[in-house]
Each structure stands twice: as C-alpha cells, then as structure tokens.
Structure 1
Amino acid sequence: MRNSFDWTPYRRSTVGFDRLFDFLETGASSAENYPPFDIEKIAEDHFRITVAVAGFKSDEIDITAQQNMLTVSGRKAPVAEGEERKLLYSGIATRAFERRFQLADFVRVERADLADGLLTIDLVREVPEAMKPHKIAIGSSAAPVIEDKKAA
C-alpha cells in the first residue's frame, strides 16, 4: 500500500534526519511500532531519540552505530530458576525488539542514557570544515598598480 501523504513541507524543517522522510515514503510498516519513540531537535546540530523501553535494564539493551545506521535492540534476560513470578495481569511488553534509525551524513552518537524506562540517545551533526560553506572574497579585475620607487 502506497502512502499518499505529501511530506514536502516537513522536509524543509529537518536537519540531520534527511533520509527520514524517504524512509516514510517507501512504505515504512506501521505494524512494527514497538517500542514507541520520539525524535526531537534540541539545537541546530543536536538531536535526541527517546525510546520507551519500560521493563528493560541497561544490560538488556544494545545500541550499535554503523555508518549511517543506528540500531537499538533489546532482549529480556531469561528468568533464573527460583525467581518465577505469578503475574495476575501482564501489561508491560517484554518481547525482544530491534529498532533501526537511518542517520544523515556526519551524524554521530554522542551518548545514551537509560532512566525511568526511557532510553535517550543524543546525536550530534558534525560537518567537517572542508564540507562547510566558505565565503569567497571578490577581487578586482583591474591590474594591480605597481609603483616604481626609483622614479620618486
């Protein structure tokens, strides 16, 4: 099923996640929406991904950054013998997950923290000096005037 929503107006306001809308247009499956996440712009070149990972400990979550792909995966540790729980109702999802985020060029992971069931991943876009725009001074097309010191 093709998504008929026009993402063009939103493309202008994204920096650092240039490929995000390409991903959405190519038919990102809405069936896989676990765990939920937010993407926010903190500053001009600073972004934050917040993933809701309630019930997971930091040693059960793996974050991998490779080229332009950030992968967040989680797998609950098996319950040890003698620690069996008798749940009357289980509403906290503990299934394994893997979330992939396409990152724009020159975006790197600065740090990741887990607190209150939320995994926050801070991203920074660092464009190399050679890739940044530079001002070019405009010179005069007239030949330079060279004074002859001997004539004076």
Structure 2
Amino acid sequence: MTKNLSGGCMMLLLTACATTRPAAVQGPIRQVLTTQAAAWNRGDIPAFMEGYWRSDSLVFLGRKGPTYGWQQTLDNYRRGYPDAAAMGQLAFSDLHITPDGPQAAHVVGRWHLTRPTAGDIGGHFLLVFRQVKGQWVIVADHTNNE
C-alpha cells in the first residue's frame, strides 16, 4: 500500500513538472529581470525591488549571511548603493531558467556592475521565483561577488 502511494505521489509530481511549458515560465521571468536591470540602470532601487516578493518571508543570502524581509533587503540595497556612481550599470548574463512546476522556477546566472569611478564588480546568483497573485517574483536570492 505504501509503495503504491509513494509511486502515485512521484508520478503526480513528475506529471506536474513535465506539463510545465518552459516558455510559459521563462518569458515572464526574463521580463522581470529585464525590468529590474532597467530600473537599476536609471538609479531606481524601489522599482528594482518590485521584482522581489513583498513579504517578510523574502530571503536574500549574501556575503554577510541571510537577510529576511522585503523592507530589510531594500534598506540594505540603499545602504550598499547610496548613489548612481555606486550603482553603476547592471547587466545579467548566462541565464539558466529552470521551471520547478507551474508556479515555481529557479534561475542561475551572472551579474555585472560597470562602474567607471567605483570599479566594476560582479558575481553569480541563484534566484528562486514563484508566481504569487499572478505575478512572477523572487522569493529567495543567493548572490555572491567574485
């Protein structure tokens, strides 16, 4: 009985993942990242943050450890990037978007800030996206510097 129940649950999970059309997930997620980069590049951190889940359960994992919550993440970005020179121009590349079901996906990629006066920086990231109230948002962000 338990074997049949486990097998049935596994088949249900595999069917849910198999029926997720990658394009149906990838396009909207690429749009979130494009919109974020455009907001960053015009110096608008609050608009950049619209790509994140506005929740106390948002988690951002960086070099200083985890930060929980949308507001705390916004505050950290504002402290770390106080002006346009510190922000520079953001580019995302090498994006690998993998659907994890009809309402979840993860993205692995690279980020790069071109900053003529402050020096360029960049690194890699792993983002977890979920569809919340019909919108794709980042619910977890693990970003590192090179």
Q: TM-score range by the shorter chain?
A: under 0.3
Higher helix proportion = 2
TM-score, normalised relative to structure 2 = 0.26
**Which structure is higher in strand share?**
2
Computing the radius of gyration from Cα coordinates, the structure with the larger value is 1
